[in-house]
């Protein structure tokens, strides 16, 4: 349509004498967001002719808005980054791949789900996935979906050797599902999904349990270094390939990241070696596609997309700066946990004090019921605030201890209610329960870290 600059998909061309437009096309709201920005890597612009500036990237995203009505482009706190929203991870990966083939150099962040707040509760987008697989892969597919918070709605088997299943799964559970699904079904499975509204937050979904092998210096990858590091994990690079400091060059089987030197050359000496002519082989590197790289990247990593390569790197390239950032985050997390635990202790003590005031009045409660009520109220109130079972248990025990110590220090006016020896016994019992809970709390803290 020529001659009308601001016309877009869904608009109606009507007669001015009888302007009755057609109903507008309803587009599903975006479910996945991803940050897209200019390439901030030290290797940016190493090939002439690539599009690097923020103006060029922004103009390309604005041009995409004209023909792609499901996409949304929102500004961020940085002028060279934008938040791009679309229906799914695959649609965003297609956009980035198109821009890469057009000569753009980009930095892409990890996909995130777009949530809503309904009546004070967090809701996330859901999808209805239809899966067709051979019968022998039924167990593998259901296990994958269970780990992604998927719930099977229907399953039909018509005796043809194929099974059709329908799942209701969170949109964030579909991130990276297709590659894992095709691997488990050996390329024979077929999956499709559509939007299925919003539902309350379904809980945490376990991400990858492996770490990253991070290059600690820039240079050209050598076969000698890769041979010495083969037992450390699976590599994404091959000898002769250039790399930069902070680049993710492989996957570690351990949960923590590991800095490795993949540019180490072989020392040249005048001494003859009996193994100099031994032929050594290297395992073939694992080549990641754009979709697999976006799925693999963790929270502190990003995907660097250039026309000649797709690589993963840390957001903070310097290793010492990354360690300082992680240390600050751990200290902040520890301080937050400490403050939450102290708040739970104060809440339990306040409940114990309130119960003491109630007991000093006309209400006459047995001592065991009084202390038990203090613990239940303190623990239940803390658990309702979604602070977890450990802190709820801690708050309940502190409520019992607080009520016991307060009643021991300020006994009621009625001396016949309970003797001093019984007060001391109850206080020692509460302190013993609290002491028994401290190792469990400490163990939980260590495991979470």
Angle formed at CA 54 by CA 50 and CA 58, multiple of 5 degrees: 100
Detail the DSSP E strand segments found in 54-189.
72-75, 81-86, 106-108, 112-113, 116-118, 121-134, 151-157, 162-170
Average the pLDDT over 12-18 and give the result: 88
Tell me how far CA of residue 29 lies from CA of 62, 109, 116, 197, 344, in angstroms.
18, 21, 11, 9, 40
Q: How many residues does the chain have?
A: 449
Q: Is the pLDDT of residue 436 over 80?
A: no
Q: Is the pLDDT of residue 384 over 70?
A: no
Nearest to residue 196, comparing CAs of 104, 108, 88, 280?
88
Distance CA 32, CA 449 (A): 28
Mean pLDDT of the chain: 77
pLDDT tens, position by position, 388-421:
555 555 555 565 665 665 555 555 555 444 555 5
Nearest to residue 369, comparing CAs of 294, 421, 319, 426?
426
% of the chain residues with pLDDT over 90: 13
> Residue 4: what pLDDT?
77
pLDDT category at 280 given cuts 50, 70, 90 is low
pLDDT tens, position by position, 286-318:
888 888 888 888 888 899 998 888 889 998 888
> Residue 386: what pLDDT?
45
Q: What's the distance, Cα to Cα, between the start and end of the chain in Å?
A: 59
- Number of neighbours of residue 402 by Cβ within 10 angstroms: 26
Angle formed at CA 186 by CA 185 and CA 192, multiple of 5 degrees: 50
pLDDT tens, position by position, 87-119:
888 888 899 999 999 999 999 988 888 888 888
Angle formed at CA 391 by CA 386 and CA 397, multiple of 5 degrees: 130
pLDDT tens, position by position, 150-194:
899 999 987 788 999 999 999 888 887 887 888 888 888 999 888
Of 84-98, 227-241, 258-272, the poorest mean pLDDT is in 258-272
Average the pLDDT over 70-79 and give the result: 90
For CA atoms 212, 217, 221, 227, the dihedral sign is negative
Angle formed at CA 440 by CA 438 and CA 442, multiple of 5 degrees: 70
Q: Is the pLDDT of residue 373 over 60?
A: no
């Amino acid at each position: 349509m020529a001659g009308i600059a601001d016309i877009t998909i869904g608009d109606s061309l009507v007669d001015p004498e009888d302007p009755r437009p057609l109903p507008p096309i309803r587009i599903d709201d975006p479910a996945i967001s991803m940050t897209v920005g200019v390439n901030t890597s030290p290797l940016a612009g190493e090939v002439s002719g690539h599009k690097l500036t923020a103006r060029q990237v922004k103009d390309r995203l604005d041009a995409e808005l004209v023909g792609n009505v499901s996409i949304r482009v929102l500004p961020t706190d940085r002028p060279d980054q934008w938040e791009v929203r679309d229906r799914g991870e695959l649609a965003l990966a297609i956009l980035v791949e198109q821009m890469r083939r057009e000569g753009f150099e980009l930095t892409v962040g990890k996909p995130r789900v777009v949530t809503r707040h309904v009546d004070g509760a967090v809701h996330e987008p859901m999808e209805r996935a239809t899966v067709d697989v051979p019968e022998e892969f039924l167990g593998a597919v259901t296990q994958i979906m269970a780990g992604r918070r998927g719930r099977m709605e229907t399953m039909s088997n018509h005796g043809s050797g194929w099974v059709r299943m329908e799942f209701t799964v969170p949109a964030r559970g579909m991130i990276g599902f297709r590659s894992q699904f095709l691997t488990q079904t050996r390329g024979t499975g077929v999956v499709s999904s559509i939007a299925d509204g919003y539902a309350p937050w379904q809980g945490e979904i376990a991400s990858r349990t492996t770490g990253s092998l991070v290059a600690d210096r820039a240079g050209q990858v050598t076969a000698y270094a890769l041979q010495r590091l083969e037992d450390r994990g699976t590599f994404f690079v091959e000898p002769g390939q250039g790399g930069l400091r902070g680049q993710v060059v492989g996957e570690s089987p351990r949960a923590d990241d590991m800095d490795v030197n993949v540019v180490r050359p072989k020392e040249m000496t005048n001494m003859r070696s009996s193994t100099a002519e031994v032929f050594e082989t290297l395992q073939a590197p694992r080549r990641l596609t754009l979709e697999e790289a976006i799925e693999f990247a963790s929270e502190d990593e990003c995907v660097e997309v250039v026309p000649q390569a797709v690589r993963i790197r840390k957001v903070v390239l310097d290793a010492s700066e990354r360690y300082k950032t992680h240390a600050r985050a751990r200290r902040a997390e520890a301080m937050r946990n400490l403050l939450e635990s102290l708040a739970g202790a104060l809440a339990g003590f306040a409940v114990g004090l309130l119960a003491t005031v109630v007991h000093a009045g006309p209400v006459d409660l047995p001592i065991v019921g009084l202390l038990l009520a203090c613990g239940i109220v303190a623990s239940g109130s803390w658990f309702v605030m979604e602070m977890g079972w450990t802190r709820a248990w801690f708050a309940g025990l502190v409520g019992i201890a607080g009520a016991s110590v307060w009643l021991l220090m300020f006994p009621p006016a009625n001396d016949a209610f309970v003797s001093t020896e019984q007060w001391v016994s109850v206080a020692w019992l509460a302190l013993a329960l609290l002491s028994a809970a401290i190792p469990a709390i400490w163990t939980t803290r260590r495991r979470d870290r």
